[in-house]
Amino acid sequence: MADLLRRPRPDARPAGEVQRPFAVVLAPTRELATQIGRDAEDLGRFTDLRSGVVIGGESVERQRRMLDGPPLDILIATPGRLQDWVSRGNVDLSRVQSLVLDEADRMVDMGFLPQVRLLLGRMPDSRYRQTMLFSATVDFRIDNIVRRWTKNPIKVSIEPEQIASDLIEQQIYTVSRSDKIDLLESLLRKEISLGIVFVNTRIMGEKLYERLRQRGIAAGLLSGTRAQNERERTLARFREGKIQVLVATDVASRGIHVDGVSHVINYDLPDNPEDYVHRIGRTGRAGQQGISIGFASEDDAFLLPQLEKYLDRKLPVVRPPGHLLERAEG
């Protein structure tokens, strides 16, 4: 934003004409794009910069009204929906001075490179725009993107002393598959004020969400199976404390910031250790302490060695305290 304010910007076009943003931010998920949009509004509150968000799963008519309105300096988008608006003629990318590719590794994993390639073809050459690429991991795929889409790139690496924050107390509970739901209920009733429970699949997310609701737990579900407006309502209720626990797939592990999350529960241990780090990073934020608890059952306990190797530390693997097992063991 500071760079945009310093640069001379062409005269704004009247409302109703095609949008010609000067900066574009691409994010792989709707939730992350929405979060970036909120941050852009906060950062630009006392400037004359205007920003907008276009993502899939939302009302096309509402987004059309926004694009037909006053000119936007910054456009935050998911690749597919932005490509749609460009093809409709509502957005012209020929004036883009700054491009941000956020969570580039995730964008690769989710198969968005063809859309991103088409969008870059509508923008000025890399010699005439600033391109910023952010990625939690940098492998040959990211290196290829950097070589192809940037000019004279400068690499900035931020290496934390520890992969996971010291503010997060990590522990692993050994528990049988059949007792996981009872253990989770005990945690929610006795220890957790506001928590996120991660599962590996949408099917498991739906199943766990329904079982918690049947047991009288105020739960919400954040999954790709739910419509975007429903996901946003669920997140809003979670932020307001009307939902005690959010059941989520990895769609929520990056870019979702909710103050006051006391616990993250890995109901299923993830196959990828990096996903574990992103998941537990939803707690222990802004200087606050957080607790991460992983359930290691007969289905996924074999993943612990590679997780500990990635973290470069031994995790405490223990039986859950007796008071949490009262329901599970009768």
pLDDT the model gives residue 328: 46
Lowest-confidence segment of 43-52, 191-200, 204-213 by average pLDDT: 43-52
Averaging pLDDT over each range in 12-16, 225-229, 281-285, which range is the top one? Answer: 281-285
pLDDT the model gives residue 327: 56
For the cut 50, the answer to whether the pLDDT of residue 214 exceeds it is yes
pLDDT the model gives residue 330: 42
DSSP states along 128-156: GSEEEE--S---HHHHHHHHHH-SS----
The owner of tokens 């968005």 is 112
The owner of tokens 């992969």 is 163
pLDDT the model gives residue 127: 86
Query: What's the average model confidence in pLDDT over 234-244?
Result: 91
- As a whole number, the mean pLDDT across the chain is 87
Where helices occur in the chain by DSSP H, the ranges are 2-6, 30-43, 60-67, 79-88, 104-109, 113-121, 140-149, 180-190, 202-214, 228-239, 273-280, 304-311
DSSP letter, residue 68: T
For the cut 70, the answer to whether the pLDDT of residue 92 exceeds it is yes
For the cut 90, the answer to whether the pLDDT of residue 113 exceeds it is no
DSSP states along 87-98: HHTSB--TT--E
pLDDT the model gives residue 135: 84
Count of all residues that appear for the chain in the document = 330
pLDDT the model gives residue 31: 83
| Confidence at 252, pLDDT banded by 50, 70, 90 | low
pTM of the model: 0.67
Amino acid at 121: G
Is 114 or 140 the better-scoring residue by pLDDT? 114
pLDDT the model gives residue 221: 93
Where helices occur in 150-251 by DSSP H, the ranges are 180-190, 202-214, 228-239
pLDDT > 70: what percent of the chain?
92
For the cut 60, the answer to whether the pLDDT of residue 119 exceeds it is yes
Extract the tokens encoding 200. Answer: 């590996």
Residues with Cβ within 8 Å of 206's Cβ and at least 6 positions away in sequence, in order, are 221, 223, 225
| Confidence at 179, pLDDT banded by 50, 70, 90 | very high
- In this structure, the number of other CB atoms found within 10 A of the CB of residue 197 comes to 26
| Confidence at 305, pLDDT banded by 50, 70, 90 | very high
Lowest-confidence segment of 32-36, 68-72, 194-198, 226-230 by average pLDDT: 226-230
| Confidence at 138, pLDDT banded by 50, 70, 90 | confident
pLDDT the model gives residue 32: 87
Averaging pLDDT over each range in 28-37, 43-52, 91-100, which range is the top one? Answer: 91-100
| Confidence at 255, pLDDT banded by 50, 70, 90 | low
Cα torsion 310, 315, 319, 323: sign: negative
| Confidence at 302, pLDDT banded by 50, 70, 90 | very high
Is 159 or 178 the better-scoring residue by pLDDT? 178
Is 31 or 69 the better-scoring residue by pLDDT? 69
